[in-house]
A = this chain, B = another copy of it.
Amino acid sequence: MGNVTLKNIAEILGISITTVSKALKDYPDVNKETRDSVRLLAEKLDYKPNPLAINLRNKESKTLGVIIPRVDHNFYSTVVNGIITEAEDRGYLVIILFSGDSSSLEEDQVKLLLEKRVDGVLMSMATETEEIGHIKELIKKKIPLVLFDKTTEEISCSKVRIDDKKASFKAVEYLIETGCKNIVHFRGPLPPQAYTDRFLGYKEALEKHNITYDPSNVYVCDELTFNEGYEFTKKALEEHPETDAIFAMTDLVALGSLAYCQANGIRVPDQISIMGFSNWFMSQNSTPKLSTVHQPIKELGKEAISILIEEIQQRKNEFPVKHFTAQLPTEVIARGTTR
């Protein structure tokens, strides 16, 4: 029992395919009765237009490609949630592909999407990516492209990011305003840029409040693990006994800090305030609950896909496309680990 086609309906009704097509699409020049009989039969046979045929004709696939480093990570799975939901609401389907943070795999995935003729591409660049020829290729082939999260200035296209610097600035300012003066910062590795931005926000907040920035107060976590948070807290408190706050660039590390403090009788937040970043669900599960910075991750996905679809629509209508960068706002969530 293959699928019902316009032809099937036309044959049964003894009319032409053209008329069937028109009847189904509410063309004005179709007799009411013809129209009704067509619709009735179509309904009865459960006719569904074949998207493959429509897409071939319209030279579009109504499918979007998304390349992310991985999905089994809270940040990306949340983004993907936003992406798929929003795309579906707008009539697009999404193909998710992984780069595994590898430049060459990313390149392969771009090629695959190109071959599959997706209508547009959304991507968060692999951390490793330095070579951006494959991304430029997309631009050259005039495939609408939007970069999100991990982006680069070298590509001219719309971008959507969390405003990491400002988020970090607000978090540190909050610590300062609640009386902290000796704030240690645990930052992440050099690429990706986000960690540098968070570091810059930290520095800027100190400067604004006339606190001298001391590089030795900044520790670089390479693994971003709970254990690193634990160990670096130990180290930081040994090297800087005057520390009264720790700002970690991600919740898991902050949770490690909290664990160290608790294991060593350091009262949080009385003696030391701890501020995380991300508002990961586990930050609600510590005692006291972790203060952190909420990032609108799902909204990031939605916004990115919206911009992409807008752009696709504009190009189709031959409107001029203007690129821009959206910075999504964040929020400090003060819970139990800050004063």
Contacts known (A56-B52, A77-B72); A96 close to B84, Cβ less than 8 A: yes
Across-interface contacts of A73 in B (CB, < 8 A): 77
Docked CA distance A271–B166 (Å): 48
Other-chain contact of A70, B3, B81, B287 (Cβ < 8 Å)? B81
Across-interface contacts of A96 in B (CB, < 8 A): 80, 84, 94, 96
Q: Is A78 an interface residue (CB 8 A)?
A: yes
Tell me how many residues of A have a C-beta within 8 Å of chain B. 50
A272-315 interface bits toward B, Cβ cutoff 8 Å, 1 = contact, 0 = none: 00000000001001010000000000100000000000000000
A71-90 interface bits toward B, Cβ cutoff 8 Å, 1 = contact, 0 = none: 11110111011001100100
Question: A264: shortest Cβ distance to chain B, in Å?
Answer: 13
Across-interface contacts of A240 in B (CB, < 8 A): none
A: which residues have CB within 8 A of B?
A: 1-3, 48, 50-53, 55-56, 59, 61, 70-74, 76-78, 80-81, 84-85, 88, 93-98, 112, 114-117, 141-142, 225-227, 252, 255-256, 259, 263, 282, 285, 287, 298
Write 17 A-B pairs (CB below 8 A) sorted by A numbering: A48-B115, A51-B115, A51-B116, A52-B56, A52-B117, A71-B71, A72-B81, A72-B298, A73-B77, A77-B77, A81-B98, A84-B97, A88-B97, A94-B95, A95-B95, A252-B285, A259-B287
Contacts known (A56-B52, A117-B52); A71 close to B80, Cβ less than 8 A: yes
Across-interface contacts of A76 in B (CB, < 8 A): 77
Docked CA distance A48–B114 (Å): 9
**Residue among A78, A95, A142, A298 with the highest chain B CB neighbour number at 10 A:** A95
Across-interface contacts of A70 in B (CB, < 8 A): 81
Q: Kindly list the 8 A-B residue pairs having the minimum CB-CB distance in the complex, ordered from nearest.
A: A226-B285, A77-B77, A52-B56, A72-B77, A72-B81, A72-B78, A48-B115, A93-B95
**Residue among A70, A80, A225, A263 with the highest chain B CB neighbour number at 10 A:** A80
Docked CA distance A227–B112 (Å): 45
Across-interface contacts of A71 in B (CB, < 8 A): 71, 77, 80-81, 84
Question: A7: shortest Cβ distance to chain B, in Å?
Answer: 14
Question: A83: shortest Cβ distance to chain B, in Å?
Answer: 10
A52 in contact with B61 (CB, 8 Å)? yes
Across-interface contacts of A51 in B (CB, < 8 A): 115-117
Docked CA distance A93–B98 (Å): 12
Docked CA distance A56–B81 (Å): 30
**Residue among A77, A88, A117 with the highest chain B CB neighbour number at 10 A:** A77
Docked CA distance A88–B109 (Å): 10
Docked CA distance A97–B94 (Å): 9
Docked CA distance A94–B142 (Å): 24
Across-interface contacts of A77 in B (CB, < 8 A): 71-73, 76-77, 80
Docked CA distance A72–B112 (Å): 26
Question: A325: shortest Cβ distance to chain B, in Å?
Answer: 25
Docked CA distance A48–B84 (Å): 27
Question: A267: shortest Cβ distance to chain B, in Å?
Answer: 15
Contacts known (A285-B252, A287-B259); A98 close to B84, Cβ less than 8 A: yes
B285 in contact with A227 (CB, 8 Å)? yes
